[in-house]
Structure 1
Amino acid sequence: MRRLAIVRQKYNPAGGAERIVSAILRQLHNSDALRPMLITRNWESLDCVEAVRVKPFYLGSVWRDWSFARAARQVWREKQADLVQSHERIPGCDIFRAGDGVHAAWLEARLEGRGWFARLATFCNPYHHYMLRTERAMFRHPALRAVICNSELVRDDVTRRFGVPPQHCVVIYNGVDSAFFNPADARARRGELREQYGIDQDAPLLVYVGSGFERKGVAQAMRAIAPHPDVQLMVVGGDKKLPRYQQLAESMGVANRVHFTGPQRDVRSFYGMADGFILPTLYEPFGSVVVEAMACGLPVLTSTRCGGAELLKAGETGWIAPAGDAEQWQRNVGLWLAARERWDEMGTQARACVRDLSEENMVGQMLALYQRLLAETKMRSLT
């Protein structure tokens, strides 16, 4: 039986990469052809899955990532893994799943339009230097045979920046549980939640979901609703700089229309209480929240640097704008408002666009990739 080593450093219950790793492990649980092995620093308990925990001592983020990468390589070599899929930037893996996108692209998006001080602070941060160097080394390493990209956005960044052949980049969109994320169940608490947050039942409401308010554009979302006095904004998620965003809402004059809920377990119901979803992200390799919102029947407003935007039909299921273009975001909110009579129709179309993005299909595409690579290895060994 062939052995597949999957590398992910730590477990975050809300993390998209973690859900995907768990999905792969579940589907390979009874496989007769491929036995999975998880190499990790910290993970949840997984029945009947070989988990090798490596916890080298470290001080600081650079040492943390470097020491884990070194230990993970040692493990997969000792265990003689036939195929190694890493979710971390580790030179020498066979497959890299670029679920977090390209660090160089994220830095570029983050610094666009920023002043010299922000650029100096980024330059002086040793972690960015480590990430850029390691990322470049991994993408150019001769052992790398495939890159799993969760959007065409990521694929294009990888091929353009690192010269990875396009045929080595496989686009596999994240799966969504459309049976769970559905309009009927999402809207079951609509009236209750609107009453709880003091929002009129007929008020047009946009919802944002996610942490990391700077990267995902909460400030831009607030600017976008500013000229539209009837529009309410629900911000679902946490951020350590929350007071700064609350003060910003005050300074913009929208504090009475922006509702910060903090992290929520029942995210589905917050999709259901809204009439549209907004994510003006600076850089989002895919954005699972986009497809969750679409599955719940919401039109979506997102940015050109969001991989999930590839699933939208402009004007039919949502609107797209550059992350930094405040005027276009305000216009798009206006277009969304003007389409009020079509919201239900747009939501139905949005849900249809993500119907085939199941977890089973996503993992099935990955398993097909594994089999192809293993078959190529076998053919090379016979020649």
Structure 2
Amino acid sequence: MRIGITCYPTHGGSGVVATELGKLLAERGHQVHFITYDMPFRLGGFHHNIHYHAVEANHYALFRYPPYDLSLASRMAQVAKQHQLDILHVHYAVPHAICAYLAKQMSDQNFKVVTTLHGTDITILGEDPSLKDIITFGIQQSDAVTAVSGALIQQTHDLLCAQKSIERIYNFVDHRMYYPRDVTDIRSQYAREDEHILFHMSNFRPVKRIGDVIRIFERVQQEVPARLLLVGEGPELPKMREEVEKMGLSKKVCFLGKQDEVARLISLADLLLLPSEKESFGLVALEAMACGVPTIGSTADGIPEVVKNGETGWLAEVGEVEEMATKAITLLTDRDQYQAFSQNGLARSRDTFCGDRIVDQYEVLYQRVLEETQ
């Protein structure tokens, strides 16, 4: 098949999954065309069957803001015509599904539009009255819609009253990249031999509850020697640096900023902390499981679909810092339980969230929509 993919090419989970999906599809012989404003950060280097098409917004002086959406729709139509696309798979309802609809209307190409919902376009933007109608329109006009968790499907129906059928297709990991690595060569850079390493990675938005991450760690390190590694950047970062300083934890907390290659860093960890108040899937929890690292997190949204409470990690209600800290201490001090959780996570990541299995589901979906009549 000839497949176009549009996503946000940044470090967010949706861009990661869209890029990895394109790479796996290309390995199976499909022609994959990325249509984005920048090269997806996971796409670097040469890949057979993968093509990149840049989108340039017009900076004409009359426009107060460059009309990226219109430029994207135009570029989609150009690529669809030039390369005879069968499928245009867009990640996020706005603006990408809307742009795909415009591209289809202005083009004489009979390609199908598949939209994948990742969360923010529903849980944040979907609550904005000025955007509800256009998000719903983008969903309704898609030939097929998927979401990364059952929780997100329910939220979409609840918030938007969208009648469109939405298929759940989970996120995935490529086990050639995420697996328990030997990191003894770099571990001493972050912690002493007797210290445990707790890990958190996010975009540092308020919904990630970074304050809870620090409070959980503060409680844990009172009982067991530990260090905290924080990966990512975002609006909460300056405030969290101040919080760490006030709590006297500066020597035990390491801010690593954005990192492209996170698999080795995750393998350094003993536990992942994910106390989010909103999390449509929780890709980092899956990446941690694939590296044999259990999660201590919240029961928000799609997290329980990824982390099996009491089997691959421990979950508590949002804000229950003391309970999360207690569970973390238990795991770190009970070697048998820790090993069981680690092995359970490895097995679950390889079974339920295997890349080949998820790509199979997308191929079946693509074939089905191509066989449907207009």
Indicate whether the TM-score tops 0.5.
yes
TM-score, L = length of structure 2:
0.78
Residue 210 (structure 2) pairs with residue 218 (structure 1): yes
Q: Aligned partners of 2:27 and 2:207: how far apart in 1?
A: 36
For 2:117, the equivalent position in structure 1 comes to: 98
Matched, 1:282 2:277: yes
Letter in 1 for 2:179: N
Structure 1 Cα separation of the partners of residues 251 and 144 of structure 2: 49
Per the alignment, residue 348 of structure 1 pairs with 343
Gapped regions of structure 2 (runs ≥ 5): 102-111
2:275–2:296 CA contact under 8 A, matched in 1? yes
* RMSD after superposition: 3.4
Within a 5 Å distance, the mapping from 1:245-256 to structure 2 comes to 245-256=240-251
C-alpha separation in 1, matches of 2:10 and 2:116: 17
Contact residue 37 and residue 52 of structure 1 kept, 8 A: yes
Name the CA distance, whole Å, in 1 between partners of 2:75 and 2:285.
33
The 5-angstrom pairing of residues 319-330 of structure 1 reads: 319-330=314-325
13-22 vs 150-159, which deviates more?
Answer: 13-22
Identical pairs, percent: 24
Where 2:229 maps in the other structure, the secondary structure is strand
**C-alpha contact 2:200 2:230 (8 A) present in aligned 1:** yes
Q: Provide the residue aligned with 2:188 in structure 1.
A: 195
Q: Residues 277, 306 of structure 1: CA spacing in aligned structure 2 closer, same or farther, 3 A cutoff? A: farther
Structure-1 residue corresponding to 2:160: 162
Report how far residue 76 of structure 1 moved. Answer: 6.9
Q: Give ranges in structure 1 of 5+ residues lacking alignment.
A: 110-127
Report the 3-state secondary structure (helix = DSSP H, G, I; strand = E; otherwise coil) of the residue aligned with 2:367.
Answer: helix
Deviation at 1:352? 0.7
1:77-88 alignment runs, 5 A limit: 81-88=85-92
Residue aligned with 1:226, SS: helix
Distance in 1, matches of 2:200 and 2:149, equals 21
2:358 corresponds in structure 1 to 362
TM-score (norm 1): 0.76
TM superposition shift of 1:58: 5.0
Which residue is equivalent to 1:123?
none
Given the superposition, is the C-alpha separation of residues 102 and 147 from structure 1 closer, same or farther in structure 2, using an over 3 Å criterion? farther
> In 2, are the aligned partners of 1:277 and 1:293 still within 8 Å (CA)?
yes
Q: Quick one: which of 168, 171, 179 aligns to 1:171?
A: 168
AA at the equivalent of 2:305: E
Aligned to 1:40: 36
Match of 1:315 in 2: 310
Matches within 5 A, 1:1-383: 3-8=2-7, 11-12=9-10, 16-21=14-19, 23-24=21-22, 27-28=25-26, 31=29, 36-43=32-39, 48-49=49-50, 51-58=52-59, 64-72=67-75, 74-75=77-78, 81-88=85-92, 89=94, 90-91=97-98, 92=101, 94-99=113-118, 101-106=119-124, 131-139=131-139, 141=140, 143-165=141-163, 168-183=165-180, 185=181, 188-190=182-184, 192-197=185-190, 199-228=191-220, 229=222, 230=224, 231-239=226-234, 242-305=237-300, 307-337=302-332, 339-356=334-351, 357-377=353-373
Q: Deviations over 1:36-58 (max 9, x none)?
A: 44433333676544554432315
Pairwise CA distance, 1:63: 5.1
Query: Hey, what's the Cα distance between the residues in 1 that align with 2:147 and 2:239?
Result: 34
Retained in 2: the 8 A contact 1:286–1:307? yes
Query: Quick one: distance in 2 between partners of 1:29 and 1:258?
Result: 40
Equivalents in 1 of 2:33, 2:122: separation in Å? Answer: 30
* Kept after mapping to 2: 8 A contact 1:94/1:146: yes
Question: What residue identity is the alignment partner of 1:5?
Answer: G
SS in 2 for 1:361: helix
- Aligned to 2:123, the other structure's residue is in SS state helix
* Cα distance, 1:86 vs structure 2: 1.5
Question: How has the CA–CA distance of structure 1 residues 61 and 30 changed in structure 2, closer, same or farther, with 3 Å as cutoff?
Answer: farther
1:136 and 1:61 mapped to 2: Cα distance?
A: 27
d(CA) in 1 for partners of 2:298, 2:194: 27
- Give the partner amino acid of 1:20: A
2-structure distance, mates of 1:266, 1:37:
24
Question: Partners of 1:135 and 1:36 in 2: how far apart?
Answer: 26
Change over 3 Å in CA distance of 1:320–1:61 after alignment to 2:
farther
Q: Give how far 1:331 is off.
A: 3.8
Aligned CA distance change for structure 1 residues 318 and 13 (closer, same or farther; 3 Å): closer
Give how far 1:213 is off: 5.0
Residues of 1 paired with 2:242 and 2:257: CA distance? Answer: 16
Give me the whole-angstrom Cα distance separating, in 1, the residues matched to 2:130 and 2:38.
22
How many Å separate the matches in 1 of 2:20 and 2:197? 34
2:105 corresponds in structure 1 to: none
Deviation of residue 355 (structure 1)? 0.8
Q: Is the 8 A contact 2:146 2:168 kept in 1?
A: yes
